[in-house]
Structure 1
Amino acid sequence: MDPVIVVGAGPVGLTLSLALARHDVPCVLLDEGPGKDEQRPARTAVLRDDTAQLVQRLTGTPLTEAGVGTRWTGWRAQRRKQLVQQVTFDDADPSPVHLAQHSLTAALRDAIAKETLVKVSVDSRVDAIEQERSGLTVHTRGPKGTWWRGSYLVGCDGPRSTVRKLLDIRFPGRTAVERHAVAALRTELPWAGEALLHRMPPWRLSGSEVTGRPLADGVWRLDWLLPPRNELVTPEALVARVHETLTGWNGGVTPPYELIDTGVHTVHHRLARRWRVGRAFLAGDAAHLLGALGTQGLDEGLRDAENLAWKLAHAWHHGPSDELLASYQTERRALVAARLRAADQSLPALRGSGGLRAYVPGTTRGHDALLTDGHLGRGPLGAPGTHAGSPLTPAPFPESVPVGTPVGALAVDVRVTAEDGSFVRLRERLGLDHLIVLLVAPGTGVWERRHWAGAGIMPRLTAAVAALPCRAELLVTESYPRAAAHTVLLIRPDGHLVAAFNGVQPGALYAAADIALGGAGEATETSDAG
């Protein structure tokens, strides 16, 4: 079968290509550029815990251990001179990973260079797409201009996506929702390792809001929210902002600093009308633009890649399922649309002139909490979201039981015993071309798997897993939040919970797995209450 064609070698296109390779799907990555990225320390990315683990899983290197990114020790929200909110991060509540975008793409490119299933073609700009029932053909111009044959196509080619234009997909939305002056500098601040959101700082030049977020190697990224008018940010004005802000944060004394990079970041809010036309799809900035109030467009683009990769892989290996492929747009577009809607609804209150709202008790604190949610990936502005309304999420079965994770949400990253007897984290087993069946079995962690693999309900569960409509990996965990002993969880390759059952329920398990793969969910005749 022909490879999948990925257009665009930014973080989303690189991630999607690696994810497809992990699913044993060959792909061609068409890079419009020369295969190298400009180093811009002021252009950074904040990855929530689930997307950071996705990148680490694909590259094989923990981003923080490699010196690529850093995790914050805490988060501070300050208004004028008052500390109004403080968050301390730990292993149970990890912070996002903050890194320069060129460091992220470099790590992804290094991993792709070792991947035999990914062919990279640089200086290849797409200028034509032709689709037919069995596949599609893409033409590129440039020094290596040629025709490429593929099974599917994914446009990850950014806000000005050529793929989106060739597919004649509208991209409505709002321009310049927010503008920020940005500086990357090396210095020491009083809050070592902590990120800071400072609203209404009592200085003349810093405007209504400034954030400081640490990077690796003692570097900080500072962002100043600019007024709605199209204010010109000169180098002299930006240096004055840096000097005044550092002086204000350090009690009137300007610490030594090295200015590394500067820029202006303009946030647009746009959402493509469609994310799929036949065998062609959109992902990342080609499909959506967001970023106001601390939300992260790149984070959403990586979630696009993870959602789409396993569905394309299943179609590539087992034949296309229109319901499965259509669910990519249904699931991801709905979540991004909800994120944009939440941001647009919050903007007037957070960025408006205030009026009576400024005097309502609790209003300011609520605004600070909302902004914190956006920056830290929580609440309606930043949480990963659920697929409860997805066609791949079955309605509750009579055998279903509630657990600590809502159906359609990301499963908790518990420690599990793999089929070879090793102890790993659940998320380490994601991103493969199979479902995961997770049994909650207290006490198993103290014995080798060979001692209990043939005891109790394991033989019946093993048989039920073997009978599923696709390959599934059977994992065992000592405990799962709010799950009783012998609870069986069915989890998608991207980590979202499909269903949870009380004991071994072969018929319900089969039906849920079939629905998760885009089928009709017809249960087998066998039923065992376990």
Structure 2
Amino acid sequence: MTKPIIIAGAGPVGLMMALACKFYGLDFVLLEEDDSFSSDTKAGTILTRTVEACRRYGRDADVLARALRLDEIGELERATNQRRTSVRLDLLADQTRFPFVLNLPQHHFEPVLAQGLTGPHADVRLNHRVTGFSQTGDGVSVTADGPDGPVRIEGSYLIACDGGQSQIRARLGVEVEGQTLDVKYMLIDVKADLDVQNPRDYPYLAYFSDPEEWMILIRQPHCWRFLYPLEPGVDSVAPAELEAKVRRFVGDVGGLELLNTIVYRVHHRVATHWREHRVFLAGDAAHLITPMWALGMNTGVLDALNLPWRLAWVQRGWAEDALLDGYEREQRPLAVHGSGEMAEAARKLMGGEVTASGIESSSEWALAMTRSLLGVRLDVDGRNDWSIVCKGPQPVQPGSRMPDLPLFDGNGRRIHLHDLCDDSFVALHFTDARRKPRLPDDLPGLKNLVVSNWDAPLESGLRPRALLDVGGKLFAALGCARDTVVLLRPDDHVAAILPLAPDAVHDTYRAILRGG
């Protein structure tokens, strides 16, 4: 019997990891030291790529029902109230089923995720604080203090999602590179009617830049949220001063009520390595990122898209242990030089320290791809060729996220591309279905499908394995050559682009599973 995967920490990333384990049919034990899920005022914006992760792991409907959708991220000059370039998320309709981002506070988001952690694979234990662990050749042994005393849990792997002050990371002796800035932010949740009685025609997520005092205004489902920097040396602000600050920004509004406040430091710190044999770091335990442009929590969710399918393939016996090394190789650069540096540039831009963040010259479409995290390209083949900034439409490359366009299967049903690779590698053979191309046999964890703008003839024998690309829209969007195979991974990223040769697909897939 396979030992469960142990996940330490039930924040958003730990919950996503647990949902992923459930999705892949992996037993897991989720340990959280608090006796309830988060009640703190924390992250409040869910980017498009995170919504896609929610779909994969079965929580999108409930999350969408509780969140505010927004198709514009506004950027304004505070002094003049004039709009700068806004991020138009409606331009992503050619890429995703979710051409928007969501506003939903973390303490509302976490319970929605947790509601999905039921069933035979799930073991969720609140009020369990990890106190130690040890590793063997075939597993990990974790000790925790529970409500009834110490417990020992035997597992196959340990995923540390225990936050920026991770005790697991400290016990591993893993160092952290980067800095904690002498900068603090104040976040305020306010109840006020800025929609009807005191209407403010701002986007639901608006960044007001100003060298004296920038501000971020977020319309949450049940309140308005303000975020701004504190003066150096200031650790707290009296309620009356907070209220006065809000009124200076939105004017003299009636019925204003302060709900929650929190002060936090600004970090750009990343662990030097993320895997120690059978222990992995994820989320804030692996990377603390400046909380700007919603890149903190959402970068952690990228970890929960990358690691779980690898664990599933290894535990099913389809892949070798070396496949797990790709997690750190692909995700760490995104945190160090991708999300981290982009968030820092955004912080400096808001305060007038710089005049550009480095992505303003991109097209509106490319800007939306970047800010939604749909433009991430991973280093899938170890060449250190990756990107988080989308420069514009270009031919698909290894590491690119595949657009989630609709196709039609052999029975005429509409199906989205990401549905095909939810729990499988998929080799898409772009060729003329009328010519009756020979597809290689499927392998465990690998499906082969032909994609054509010509419907596969009934007598071809290909209909069960054929997808109709009406108008050749997917083929045109990818920009690849005809008679090409695009190999997709279970996280929607392109693993390889190959010639139309049956043996090439099998050889490449087996090499990936060996960690090559």
TM-score (normalised: structure 1) = 0.79
1:510 alignment partner in structure 2:
506
Contact in 2 for aligned 1:415/1:423 (Cα 8 Å): yes
1:246 alignment partner in structure 2:
250
Q: 1:72 and 1:161, CA in 2 relative to 1: closer, same or farther beyond 3 A?
A: same
2:337 alignment partner in structure 1:
338
2:280 alignment partner in structure 1:
281
SS, match of residue 485 in structure 2: strand
| Identity %, equivalent residues | 26
1:496 alignment partner in structure 2:
493
2:312 alignment partner in structure 1:
313
**CA shift for structure 1 position 380:** 9.1
Aligned pair partner of 1:438 in 413, 416, 428 = 428
Matches within 5 A, 1:148-297: 148-176=153-181, 178-186=183-191, 187-188=193-194, 189-191=199-201, 193-200=203-210, 207-217=212-222, 219-230=223-234, 232-247=236-251, 254=253, 256-297=255-296
User: For the residues of structure 2 that align with 1:392 and 1:427, how far apart are their CA atoms?
Assistant: 26
Contact in 2 for aligned 1:135/1:149 (Cα 8 Å): yes
What is the aligned-residue RMSD (CA, Å)? 3.3
SS, match of residue 14 in structure 1: helix
Contact in 2 for aligned 1:153/1:279 (Cα 8 Å): yes
Amino acid at match of 2:508: A
Contact in 2 for aligned 1:440/1:477 (Cα 8 Å): no
Matches within 5 A, 1:444-463: 456-457=435-436, 460-461=438-439
Aligned pair partner of 1:137 in 133, 137, 141 = 141
**CA shift for structure 1 position 366:** 5.8
User: For the residues of structure 2 that align with 1:498 and 1:271, how far apart are their CA atoms?
Assistant: 26
User: For the residues of structure 2 that align with 1:490 and 1:120, how far apart are their CA atoms?
Assistant: 35
**CA shift for structure 1 position 135:** 1.4
Q: Which runs of 4+ in 1 moved over 6 A?
A: 370-373
Contact in 2 for aligned 1:490/1:500 (Cα 8 Å): yes
Contact in 2 for aligned 1:77/1:372 (Cα 8 Å): no
User: For the residues of structure 1 that align with 2:402 and 2:326, how far apart are their CA atoms?
Assistant: 19
Contact in 2 for aligned 1:469/1:513 (Cα 8 Å): no
User: For the residues of structure 2 that align with 1:10 and 1:109, how far apart are their CA atoms?
Assistant: 10
Structure 2 residue runs of 5 or longer lacking an equivalent are 94-98, 386-392, 450-465
Deviations 1:429-477 (A, max 9, x none): 4441x202234478xxxxxxxxx8xx6436x22xx142x4643364735
**CA shift for structure 1 position 136:** 1.7
Q: 1:515 and 1:178, CA in 2 relative to 1: closer, same or farther beyond 3 A?
A: farther
Contact in 1 for aligned 2:209/2:351 (Cα 8 Å): no
Q: 1:316 and 1:222, CA in 2 relative to 1: closer, same or farther beyond 3 A?
A: same
SS, match of residue 313 in structure 1: helix
**CA shift for structure 1 position 410:** 0.7
User: For the residues of structure 2 that align with 1:302 and 1:56, how far apart are their CA atoms?
Assistant: 13
Count of matched residue positions in the alignment of Structure 1 and Structure 2: 471
Say yes or no: does 1:101 pair with 2:106.
Answer: yes
Deviations 1:17-42 (A, max 9, x none): 1111211111111122224432x4x4
User: For the residues of structure 1 that align with 2:496 and 2:418, how far apart are their CA atoms?
Assistant: 17
**CA shift for structure 1 position 153:** 1.0
SS, match of residue 428 in structure 1: helix
Q: 1:342 and 1:134, CA in 2 relative to 1: closer, same or farther beyond 3 A?
A: same
1:329 alignment partner in structure 2:
328
Contact in 1 for aligned 2:396/2:480 (Cα 8 Å): no
Aligned pair partner of 1:75 in 73, 76, 81 = 73
User: For the residues of structure 2 that align with 1:387 and 1:160, how far apart are their CA atoms?
Assistant: 27
Amino acid at match of 2:488: I
2:405 alignment partner in structure 1:
414
Q: 1:477 and 1:255, CA in 2 relative to 1: closer, same or farther beyond 3 A?
A: farther
Contact in 1 for aligned 2:404/2:418 (Cα 8 Å): yes
**CA shift for structure 1 position 484:** 5.4
